[in-house]
Amino acid sequence: MMIRSWFTRAAIASALLVSPSLALAMTAEGAFAFIILNVEDGDKFAAPNDGGLASVTVTAKTPLTFEIAFASGDKPIYEITQTKPCVFDVAAKLGEGGNANIIFDMNKFVGLPVFSTEDNLIFSNECAIQVAQNGRCLGAKFKPGMLANGDFDRERMKRAIEFFKKEFCAGSPF
């Protein structure tokens, strides 16, 4: 991100002091976490399969690491690393449930459907999302907010996508 004026730098610095989750979203990894998983530091969301609220806590900024504490006591840990420009590895440490790594190639990221209420994120290539361990392709669509039961504010998501594409990774136009 290129900051062109003292005023802009001062405004951003002030915003970072006021909101730690805004500071996190100012990184490529933080914006990616919001778009793909719909999580931010301090979030709480209903976890119906768990019978209560789950809470999100960022435990490290590099790599971006957060824990989700469920009412059942489960605390999966997610690490997000940008391995190449616009390519992100999401490592999920699920305790006894095992581990998983998913690779997202955001160079192929298009966005949300424009003329549809479908809430899947769209990618331009069938194999933009892969299982890291075996390279198995997971397709070109992804439901954001999978950790928060798919609930998200579509307008806020659009703004986050615009910001991510402008500041970090232009993605694909179609």
The verdict on residue 29 lying in a domain is yes
The verdict on residue 77 lying in a domain is yes
Total number of domains in the chain:
1
The verdict on residue 74 lying in a domain is yes
Q: Which domain holds residue 38?
A: 6-167
The verdict on residue 174 lying in a domain is no
Closest CA to 148 of 95, 93, 78, 81: 78
The verdict on residue 173 lying in a domain is no
Q: How far apart are CA 155 and CA 99, in angstroms?
A: 32
Helix (H, G, I), strand (E, B) or coil at 114: coil
The verdict on residue 45 lying in a domain is yes
pTM of this prediction exceeds 0.75: yes
Taking each helix axis from N to C end, the angle separating 154-167 and 28-37, rounded to the nearest 10 degrees, works out to 150
Q: What is the pLDDT along the chain (174 residues), one digit of tens a residue?
A: 333 333 333 333 333 333 444 445 589 999 999 888 888 888 888 776 777 888 899 999 989 999 999 888 889 999 999 999 999 999 999 877 688 899 999 999 999 887 666 678 889 987 899 998 898 998 888 877 655 555 667 788 889 999 999 999 998 887
Q: How far apart are CA 137 and CA 50, in angstroms?
A: 29
Q: CB within 8 A of 106, min separation 6: which ones?
A: 32, 86, 87, 88, 164, 169, 171
Looking at residue 157, what is its pLDDT?
86
